[in-house]
Amino acid sequence: RLEWHGHNDFHKVLVNAEAAWLYGCAAANGTLLGFGERCGNPPIEGLCIEYASLVGSTNGMDLKVITEIGDYFRKEIGADIPANYPFVGSNFNVTAAGIHADGVIKNEEIYNIFDTEKVLNRPLGVNVTDKSGVAGVAFWVNHKLGLQGEQRLDKRHPGVQKIFEWVEAQYAARRTTSISDEEMTEQARLHLADYFKGP
């Protein structure tokens, strides 16, 4: 009936909690998103993923709630969650690299370590930059339009190529920030009017 309580001072809070479980502790203390004294406590969402990994089952847990927790912290508490924070950060499963986007188009398992849409209700995304390439633009377009399987637009599609040319021109003019969803939506409306009917 031992329980383990730790802090993340050495980036070891999850591995130490897991080791405590493996060596017989019945419970590991945790807090949502790891909020806590000093460097924080084990994040409960991380403990849930570790537990499922260890035992091969969620044992009744609905891991999609992890995404809802992140939304709650942002909207209701006003917490500033770093974009690269695991599972709930805005860039958690988002790539900006064209080579990754190209691989994802062929087979999502190449890039995504698990099915984030199925487990967390968070589909894989792309952040369009000068490093995204035409594959990144194609991935963004297909994701935004909800195109699946044979409906997906190829990176050689003329409309996708036009959007890519616009992206390249932005960075040729010394842009340093990523392209926003609003800007991409505007380009999609312009160059893919036959496909784009959404907001």
Q: What are 21-64's pLDDT values in tens digits? A: 999 999 999 999 999 888 999 999 999 999 999 999 999 999 99
Residue 73 tokens, joined:
């912290």
Q: By C-alpha distance, which of 137, 121, 135 is closest to 178?
A: 137
Neighbours of 1 (CB within 10 A): 6
For residue 199, pLDDT over 70 is answered with no
pLDDT at 150: 86
Say if residue 100 is exposed, middle or buried (CB neighbours under 10 Å; 0-12, 13-18, 19+).
Answer: buried
Instruction: State the angle between helix axes of 158-172 and 133-145 in degrees (0 to 180), rounded to the nearest 10.
Output: 120
Distance CA 162, CA 96 (A): 19
Three-class secondary structure of residue 95 per DSSP: strand
H runs (alpha helix) in 23-64: 44-55
C-alpha 194: how far from its chain's center? 29
Dihedral sign of CA atoms 191, 176, 128, 155 in order: positive
For residue 198, pLDDT over 60 is answered with no
110 vs 134: which has the higher pLDDT: 134
